[in-house]
Amino acid sequence: MTRLPSLLAALALAGCAAMPRPQVTISAPFDEAAAAEQMQDGDGSVKGSALVRQQGGGVVTCAGFPVGIFPANPYSKARMTAIYGSERGGITRTPKEQSPQFTPDPPAYTALLRETRCDAQGFFRFDKLRDGDFYVIVPVIWKVGHSMQGGMLSTMVTVKRGETKEVVLAH
């Protein structure tokens, strides 16, 4: 299964080989132990879908693409703000915008990511989540000629008391 960070890197570099990646220094510390604890099994779930409406009115979903979920903490909030302009998430278009190169960029940050895939209808689900805040990130991309369209969508979601939270990432 393709790892989401690899997909993110490929998307960030698509069509932009000559452009340097923006450098972002994050001052918020990454607490690996707390993040690992947040990713332990719980009784909550997140289910949802992701889609982007094309200029002509067509809708493209995340069907077949990997979807990632990881804990929202001060470090990840700073990264999300650098990428999406908001700690709540959003959309970053490809290939116009490149993913920044972060300092520090601890390996455990991406190692804690859980991944699934969108089904043929563009739906996904994560089970066994602990109470807390998480980021869901998913690509919705397609190619027109030699140009990549769409982008990476992300949102923050809060799971509590074993609930199943439903999210729709749309643009």
Domains and CATH numbers, the chain: 4-170 (2.60.40.10)
Provide the residue-wise pLDDT of the chain in tens; the chain has 171 residues: 445 555 544 444 444 445 677 899 999 999 999 999 999 999 999 999 999 999 889 999 999 999 999 999 999 999 999 999 999 999 997 554 567 889 999 999 999 999 999 999 999 999 999 999 999 999 999 998 988 889 999 999 999 999 999 999 999
**Both tokens of residue 22?**
């923006």
Instruction: Provide DSSP, 69-125.
Output: EEE--HHHHHHHHHHHSSTTEEEEETTTS-PPEEES--HHHHHT-EEEE--TTSEEE
**Both tokens of residue 82?**
């650098």
CA atoms within 13 A on the CB side of 78: 15
pLDDT at 37: 97
The Cβ of residue 103 has, within 10 Å, a number of other Cβ atoms equal to: 9
pTM confidence score: 0.86
**Both tokens of residue 147?**
């140009």
